[in-house]
């Protein structure tokens, strides 16, 4: 269902009464059109605002890799109109247990530039997956798998590179090149991909499908958790399974 908002200046006599108008079922604003579409799709399929928030969060993890991702964290400020219920869901990252106050300092006590920004020691324990599961299970109307479906589709089929993506990829090109795995996904032969090039993330689609099937433990326990910890530690990080 397409929704069009038209702003017009009309004579007073031409304005219909409020009783004659039908307000839209939902208004969704996100950082990417595909994320907005995902939220509206879930509303149209019978979901509530919390289901839409899950769909938007997951889609942003796919199409806005410079600002969102399953490896990060976030906050959700919730309001339920029917009873006035309000709460804040804190899904921010946490530090691994082995983190300490001097981990970004050299032997002389000086800050090592970039160590807290890029690389395995900069990675906190992800909160986004747990947040989405909590939202769906405690406040949503639809199964988690239903709300994750649009993001899974676009992770597997890809999304088109925009000018914004090109700017951000150019800004972080050196960091992407430092990780062969990241460069293979987000760059094209080590360079910023052209406008319209499709970014496909089959491994992310598989991860989202595991989360959809198994919920919280699908990400924070079992084979996927083992792969996460192994990858971070092989790169020089300090995660353990206990952190997850």
pLDDT, tens only, 79-123 = 999 999 999 999 999 999 999 999 999 999 999 999 999 999 999
> CB–CB of 3/40 below 8 Å?
yes
Count the Cβ atoms, other than its own, within 10 Å of residue 196: 8
pLDDT in tens, 218-244: 999 999 999 999 999 999 999 999 999
Q: Where are the alpha helices (DSSP H) in the chain?
A: 33-44, 49-63, 128-138, 144-157, 163-171, 173-177, 180-186, 202-214, 216-220, 222-234
The residue assigned the tokens 């000086």 is 110
Q: Count CB atoms within 10 A of the CB of residue 189.
A: 7
The model's pTM: 0.87
Cα dihedral value 165, 166, 167, 171, nearest 10: 100
3 state DSSP class of 240:
coil
**DSSP secondary structure code for residue 187 in this structure:** S
Give the C-alpha separation, 194 to 180, whole Å.
Answer: 19
């Amino acid at each position: 269902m397409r929704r069009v908002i038209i702003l017009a200046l009309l004579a007073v006599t031409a304005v219909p009464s409020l009783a004659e108008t039908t307000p839209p079922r939902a208004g969704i604003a996100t950082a990417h059109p595909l994320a907005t579409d995902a939220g509206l799709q879930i509303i149209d399929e019978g979901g509530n605002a919390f289901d839409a928030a899950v769909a938007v969060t997951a889609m942003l993890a796919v199409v806005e890799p410079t600002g969102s991702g399953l490896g990060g964290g976030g906050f959700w400020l919730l309001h339920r109109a029917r009873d006035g219920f309000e709460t804040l869901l804190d899904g921010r990252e946490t530090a691994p247990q082995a983190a300490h106050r001097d981990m970004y300092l050299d032997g002389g006590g000086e800050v090592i530039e970039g160590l807290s920004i890029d690389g395995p020691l900069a990675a906190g324990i992800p909160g986004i997956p747990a947040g989405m599961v909590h939202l769906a299970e405690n406040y949503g109307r639809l199964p988690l798998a239903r709300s994750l479906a649009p993001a899974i589709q676009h992770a597997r089929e890809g999304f088109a590179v925009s000018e914004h993506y090109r700017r951000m990829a150019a800004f972080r090109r050196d960091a992407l090149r430092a990780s062969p795995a990241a460069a293979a996904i987000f760059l094209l032969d080590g360079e910023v991909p052209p406008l319209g090039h499709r970014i496909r993330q089959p491994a992310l689609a598989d991860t989202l499908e595991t989360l959809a099937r198994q919920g919280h433990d699908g990400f924070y326990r079992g084979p996927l958790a083992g792969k996460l910890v192994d990858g971070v530690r092989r790169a020089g990080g300090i995660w353990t399974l206990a952190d997850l």
